[in-house]
Chains A and B, each alone.
Chain A
Amino acid sequence: MNLNTHAAAQPRRLDQALRRQLEPHVPSDQSDPADPSDALPRPAIDGKVAPRVSSNAAKVSHLSAFSSRLFPMFRLFLLAAGALVALGPFLWMLLTALSPAEQMYAYPPRWPWPLQWSNFIEVWRAAPFGRFFLNTAVVTSAVVVLRVSVSTLCAFALARLRFRGSEWLLFLLLLGVLVPGELRLAPSFVLLRALGWLDTYAGLIVPRIENPLLVLLLRQFFLTLPRDLEDAARLDGCGALRVLWHVVVPLSKPVLALAALMTFQALWNDFTWPLLMTSSTEMKPLQVGLALLSDQHRHTQLNLLMAATVMSVAPVLLVFYAAQRWFLPNLAWSGLR
């Protein structure tokens, strides 16, 4: 698709575009480093790289007054409102975590002062949180790596390799997704006990590697990848594994990163499975450890519970921050700096 023909219909804009093309350092009024089209490789036509026609330049001419002036403000307003709503409960959590005990129940609620950072230290001492963090980190990272790789392999086979029983497998996987997970708990417990895996890392990791939904997601994605690249790779003598590794995986980085992040998040916050499958304090992950802070009878010390929750949340935020450059490749380098 040659953009020049379209751009020609817009002499003034084309002029600006050409000027930009010739003098790349000229700052344009609407240019934004985060424009997705900037980060994209331009399509190669007849061996030549297509001239760079800024999508901004093209767009702007057709934007009405609303779009060009009011929309960014409107968008900012919407985002700010959304962020406020999204953060509200989180902020409350943080403030409660910093409240001194006697101000927690103040009514009407007021800004906690002085901020009691010692709550974090106190809660860290209240239970072996170092160990809980370690357990969660080990289990979560192991499951993320294993789940994504195992699911990728299986999804690739289901998407690309014809084999006997593949439809049956697909059908089974779908059934596995549909039936509520609660049903899995009791039989899994029996199985883990038979294997001697209760209260071990193996029991926390191995049964949670497989996830039919993830396979279905990845398969769906792999089906959309162009086959010709793979055919070409095969012509060059690649085996299926090499095709997967050198062709499919690089193309699927965003979806794989997304899968990893979703797995990470689900695993980090999972409560029921570790509760059932661990019993000793040394094996407990963070979420179950948090429950140690509340007692059946007593009024939980909310500020300590919230401090612990805030601590447990921080790593997820960090991982998200680090991971987004993988699944949002076009934006990550420009938007965040």
Chain B
Amino acid sequence: MLCLVPLRPWLLLLLLTAHGSADDLAIRWWHFYGADTWPVMQRLVAEFETTHPGIDIFPEYQGSYDMLSRKLLAAIVAGGPPELCTLGCGEVMRFAETGWLAPVQLSSADQTDFFPAVLDAFTHNGQLWALPVEGAAYVLYWNRTLFREAGLPDRPPDTWEELCEFGRALTRDVDGDGRADHWGFARYDKELVGASTIFNLYFANEAPLLEGGAARIDVPEVVDVLRFWQSLETEHGITAPSLPPQAIQRGLVGMWIGGTFSYPALASHLDLGLAPIPPLRQTACLAGPDTVVLGKTDTAHESAAQEFLRWLTAPEQAVRLCTNLGYLPLRHSVLQHPEFTAFLHTHPAYRPIQDVMAHFKTKPAHPVWSEIQNALNTAREQVEWGRASPEAAAQTAQQAAQRALARYQQEQAPAPARTSGLLVVCGAALAAAAFWLRKNRDHSDSRDNRNRHEKIESFPPSHLPTFPPSHLPTFSRSHLPTFSRSQLPTFSRSHLPTFSRSHLPTFSPVCWFVLPHVTLFLFFTAGPLLAGLLLSLCRWDVLRAPVFVGLGNYSELARDPAFSAALGRTLLWVALTVPVNMALALGVALLLNVRGRARGLFRLLLFTPNIVSVVALGVVWWWILNGPAGLLNYVLECTRLQRLLDAAGIGQIDWLQDPRYALFGVVLTEWWRALGAFLVFLAALQGMPPALYESAALDGAGAWQRFRFITWPLLAPVTFFVAAALTIDTFHAFDQIYTLSGGTGGPESSTTTLSFYLYENAFVRFRMGYAAAIAHVTAALLLVLLLVQRRCFTAEIQP
């Protein structure tokens, strides 16, 4: 009964869908409002449906910004974007160019009512491509409790000098271990995604960043900000490159720049104040409104969607979003709305928001902005960790941005088609296939023959894969007699005459065995792979038709420094992960295979790392690996291992945010997961013939010798399989890197392996052709690696 209660509204909804959608206009709305935002939105939707009887809104949650934009991309490719889709402000322009969006029609009264900066960001070629629904701006948070404790006045700082001064008073070492545990200032408001804070300073310092389609990053305005950003730690000592997990929520930080949207959750247990960010050359406030775009459909649906959008952004509705969720008013009439003034009266902390409204800035709208932003983030990370001077970092970012812009312009121009590439590729593929087939035929023939003879001659065979030969006897007793008896009557005449060895292979239509899998395989793997192969010869940004460029993508790969860096990182990642994982899995399996106390319990306990999804683990591991107060560093401290590190001059390691160790941090989580990967080994060990061990023990073989000369050779085929599967898995590992790096592959691209680089190109930069080329190079590399592995293990199998 308990489980039916939450089901009921959804069942009702299903019924309604089936019933009411016949003549009503169904409008799908993809959004990313989860947690406590959603109930408010849901109420608004329900209200709209009652006031507009002819229109049904179907809101569908699609995940975070990244997921939503990936999904929209896929929907556009497939030709069925939803009527409404929520997008972050940075994404709109990429989609606006495609022709898949319908422009938003807004009355001139509405247009003047919105703050100009908010609408300008989404206007392109005189059309408005998205309507901002809710927005947040960055403000300065200050923790009043900490201010009181530090004896500071009960007001926020007005200038950056004052902020640094306050910060010095707030940075304290409370527990007296010689390391600060309260900080004056945090450079991030949220772990994993903290990248936007510094943009407030860029805008406040009038940094141009992107002007007239050209990057302007290596300018004094940017360099000054970077230097100041660095000085917060090096000179003023009021922050650290990484703070403990959830330092802000735990009340360890005095001041930080954060989005207004965080306020309700934080204010529930902290005494906080909000203030405008102190000015540099000017006062600026980064606003990131989330927008809704209209997918192109038919007129009736489009106008219904427009209707809903206009209704949702109308002052009466917008003010409720502001008062219930702490979003910013995006239009003048909301600011003056009596409900909002009443809200400000009851929530005095929000009052400073009024002051920042006039200084709204949005990030430049450009299709490759996300790449430029990545370059800027890398520069910031380099400066934070002292790996480059501000000038050099800005220089590097400028070059990266220029490359991205140049490539974008080049891709706008039509490319000459080159057919020679296709021929070369097809020829090479055919040759490789023929070579492989030839080799494989020889191999499999000889193996089959050997299989037949040696099985009979020697039991147990020394080199053959004997996965569970122990089951052999079970079979012979229980199964053979039963069916031979039942078959006996029909056996006599009809089968005997036709039976001969040459007929054996063809005695049943093979297609029944292979067909189900092959059909599915052709449709869902081979088809996409073939498409991918063709795609890798094209330039395709998903939104327009592909352009054939021959081997252009591959030759670009050869010249791409980011690709070779990612390749090196992948090899390091595989080299660190695979052998240790194998050793751990085998070790655990061996320990569990020995009879002893509580084996079943341990098996269950050790299996747990395997069952939690990678996504959920990201959160957990963040707590363990992150920063000075992470659990791992705490354990190191307790076990005195930290002293070793200190003595080696390494000091405390930030396992996820320090670019030098970030990849290793991810490797640690993989090792942990490997503890639970003992299953295949254990199953194989269980199948080992005990007679061999007995005779070896009788002959005086020690534990190591028995392992080396019995277990290891017998296990070789299984080991090879595990090694191969693990290598493939590790090569393709993406989820863990994505989660632990907050979807950036950072810091400083230090966790960007090939699979992440592939993702970045496909879904962040929309370079599907290039991504496909990366995929195929990855596959080729993997093939080589597997062949090498096979060679190694074949040597082991046949000494």
Contact = CB atoms under 8 A, between A and B. Distances in A.
A145 interface: no
A161 B508 contact: yes
B691 A107 contact: no
Interface residues of A, number: 174
20 contacts: A59-B693, A80-B602, A107-B251, A157-B510, A161-B505, A172-B521, A173-B521, A188-B524, A213-B725, A223-B451, A251-B472, A258-B680, A272-B735, A279-B30, A288-B63, A292-B35, A295-B38, A313-B611, A313-B612, A321-B604
Interface in B756-799: 758-759, 762, 768, 771-772, 775-776, 778-779, 782-783, 786
A331 interface: yes
B526 A172 contact: yes
Interface in A257-297: 258, 261-262, 265, 268-269, 271-272, 275-276, 279-282, 284, 287-288, 290-297
B473 A258 contact: no
Contacts of A64: 702
A93 interface: yes
Contact of B613 (A269, A301, A330): A269
B787 to A, nearest CB: 11
A78 interface: yes
Contact of B476 (A229, A262, A327): A229
Contacts of A171: 433, 436-437, 440
Contacts of A187: 527-528, 531-532
Contacts of A206: 520, 524
B518 A154 contact: yes
B631 interface: yes
Contact of B36 (A67, A210, A262, A298): A298
B48 interface: no
Interface string B275-317: 0000000000000000000000000000000000000000000
Contact of A40 (B600, B690, B772): B690
A59 B776 CA distance: 52
Nearest to B66: A296
Contacts of A76: 596-598
Interface stretch (B221-229, B257-265, B357-365): B257-265
Interface stretch (B398-406, B410-418, B485-493): B485-493
A107 B252 contact: yes
Interface string B244-263: 10100111100000010110
A163 B58 contact: no
Contact of A238 (B437, B476, B483, B728): B483
Nearest to A209: B520
Contact of B728 (A213, A237, A262): A213
A258 B679 contact: yes
A150 interface: yes
Nearest to A33: B595
B479 interface: yes
Contacts of B623: 92
A153 B616 contact: no
Find the residue from B30, B437, B609 having the highest chain A CB count within 10 A: B609
Interface in B449-492: 451-452, 455-456, 459, 464-468, 470-480, 483-484, 487-488, 490-491
B691 A3 contact: yes
Contacts of B516: 150, 153-154
Interface in B713-731: 717, 721, 725, 728, 731
Interface string B509-520: 010111011101
Contacts of B64: 291, 294, 296
Contacts of A101: 268-269
Contacts of A82: 588, 591, 602, 606, 675
Interface in B578-606: 588, 591-600, 602-606
B613 A162 contact: no
Main SS class of interface, B: helix
A191 interface: yes
B508 A239 contact: yes
A85 interface: yes
Interface stretch (A21-29, A110-118, A122-130): A122-130
Given A176-B521, A183-B775, A210-B524, A254 B529 contact: no
A180 B779 contact: yes
Closest 8 CB pairs of A and B: A187-B528, A157-B513, A154-B517, A269-B613, A240-B508, A295-B35, A210-B520, A336-B600
Contacts of A221: 465, 467
B682 interface: yes
A186 B77 contact: yes
Contacts of A213: 725, 728
Contacts of A62: 697-698, 700-701
A169 interface: yes
Contacts of B571: none
B491 A184 contact: no
Nearest to B513: A157
Interface stretch (B1-9, B156-164, B198-206, B348-356): B1-9
Given A58-B697, A58-B698, A305-B619, A167 B441 contact: yes
Interface string A193-225: 110001000000011111011010100110110
Contacts of B701: 62
Given A93-B612, A281-B61, A67 B703 contact: yes
Of B61, B526, B588, B687, the most chain A CB neighbours within 10 A belong to B61
Contact of B620 (A10, A55, A93, A217): A93
A88 B82 CA distance: 43
